[in-house]
Structure formats: structure tokens, C-alpha cells
């Protein structure tokens, strides 16, 4: 198996939900949040003008990028995450019914071609929970010093 690094985060968008309700329900601390109507701000906190049109919540599901191995893979982390999120299925269904979107965001960093397989079990769990998956693929140069950014 070719090696790759990856990170996974959960991202939720909703027309009006308070991001603190998401944090309380999921039990995951977010890295980025804003509520509909909040003043838009740059990463440094300076006002950009205008307000956010929807609420947003993003939580990393891993502290740092992981190297693929026989024990750790995108699919193994997805399965662990889905088992955790299964307890919040009713909340995710409500989010969807109210016009919200929940997605698992996977960033992959590789120096060579590799194969990513998602089992029918993983895909079925994603569907039952109403979770989309977004994959960002980042080819990396053959520089052993370079390190992928975290999402």
C-alpha cells in the first residue's frame, strides 16, 4: 500500500442554528464557528463588512495529520467517526430537514498514486446519517521536509 497523510474534519452549515447547540449535541469542540447574522471577520478578527448568511461549524476529528498504515486509514477513521456520530442521527436528520448540510471533509496528501477504498458498510452509514463526503487531494513534492497544512 502506498503511504499518504490525511486529515478529517466535520463541517456543518445551516440557515439559522446556533453553533453552540451543535457543539453541545455532538460533544466535539469546534475550530471555527459563526452564526447567521454575525459580522464577517478575517482570520485575525478584523471586520470584513457584511454579515454571514448562514451558520457554520467546523470541528477537526484528528489532532494532526495521520500517516496511513495497516492500522490507520481514511476508512478506519471514518468508521470510528460514524460510530460516534450515529448517536446524533436524529440531530443530523433534523439538520438536513431544516436545510442544513453536514459533510466529512477529507484532505489527502500523497507523493505517489494510491488507492482509497470505502466499503459498502461505510457508504451505507454515511447515507443513513445524511453525511456528504468532500475529498481534497493534494499532491506533495518529494521533499521530505515539507509538511501538509492542517484543515
Contacts of 52 (CB under 8 A, 6+ apart): 34, 35, 36, 37, 38, 40
State the pTM of this model. 0.82
pLDDT averaged over every residue in the chain:
87
Residue 149 has a CB neighbour count (10 Å cut-off) of 9
For residue 86, the 8-state DSSP code is G
Q: By percentage, how much of the chain surpasses pLDDT 90?
A: 52
Mean of the pLDDT values across residues 43-61? 92
Amino acid at each position: 500500500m502506498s503511504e499518504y497523510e490525511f486529515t478529517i474534519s466535520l463541517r456543518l452549515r445551516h440557515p439559522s442554528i446556533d453553533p453552540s447547540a451543535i457543539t453541545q449535541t455532538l460533544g466535539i469542540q469546534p475550530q471555527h464557528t459563526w452564526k447567521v447574522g454575525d459580522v464577517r471577520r478575517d482570520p485575525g478578527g478584523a471586520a470584513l463588512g457584511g454579515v454571514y448568511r448562514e451558520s457554520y461549524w467546523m470541528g477537526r476529528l484528528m489532532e494532526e495529520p495521520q500517516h496511513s498504515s495497516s492500522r490507520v486509514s481514511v476508512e478506519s477513521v471514518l468508521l470510528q467517526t460514524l460510530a460516534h456520530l450515529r448517536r446524533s442521527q436524529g440531530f443530523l436528520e433534523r439538520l438536513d430537514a431544516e436545510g442544513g448540510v453536514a459533510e466529512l471533509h477529507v484532505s489527502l496528501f500523497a507523493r505517489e498514486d494510491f488507492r482509497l477504498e470505502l466499503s459498502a458498510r461505510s457508504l451505507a452509514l454515511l447515507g443513513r446519517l445524511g453525511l456528504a463526503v468532500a475529498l481534497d487531494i493534494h499532491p506533495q513534492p518529494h521533499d521530505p521536509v515539507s509538511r501538509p497544512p492542517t484543515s
